[in-house]
Structure 1
Amino acid sequence: MEIIKSRFVIPATRQVVDLVVEIDRQKLADEMARRCLLNSSMRSQILFGHIKASIVEVKE
């Protein structure tokens, strides 16, 4: 289990958002593989941290 903490500012409102995400790389890679969304090479890249996730939209 890996915890990623990030702080960012929404430019339009100057609102500061603290984001804490808990990631289980093994479960993420297994689920994506199960859904045929990635091949074994991409799966190993996720497991070893070469692919980073990013959040592009936050909905309330």
Structure 2
Amino acid sequence: METIYSTYENCMIAFIQIKTILCLPWGLFIDLADEKYFRYLSKQKRWRINQNEAFHTAILPGLLS
């Protein structure tokens, strides 16, 4: 015999399924040994130029003079 659920019960089941999927650890979906994810997992700090500071030190004084 097939069980018939109300609309509310179907919505609650769907909500619980979605909540369960979203609460799973991300490690289940990502192969941490794959090299394409290594750049996101690396602890190395990258040197990045501060564009705001470069603008204020190089360009802005030339515009104001």
TM over 0.5: no
Structure number, greater radius of gyration: 2
| Bigger RCO of structures 1 and 2 (CA < 8 A, at least 6 apart) | 1
Output the TM-score relative to the length of structure 2.
0.22
Output the TM-score relative to the length of structure 1.
0.23
Q: Which has the higher strand share?
A: 1
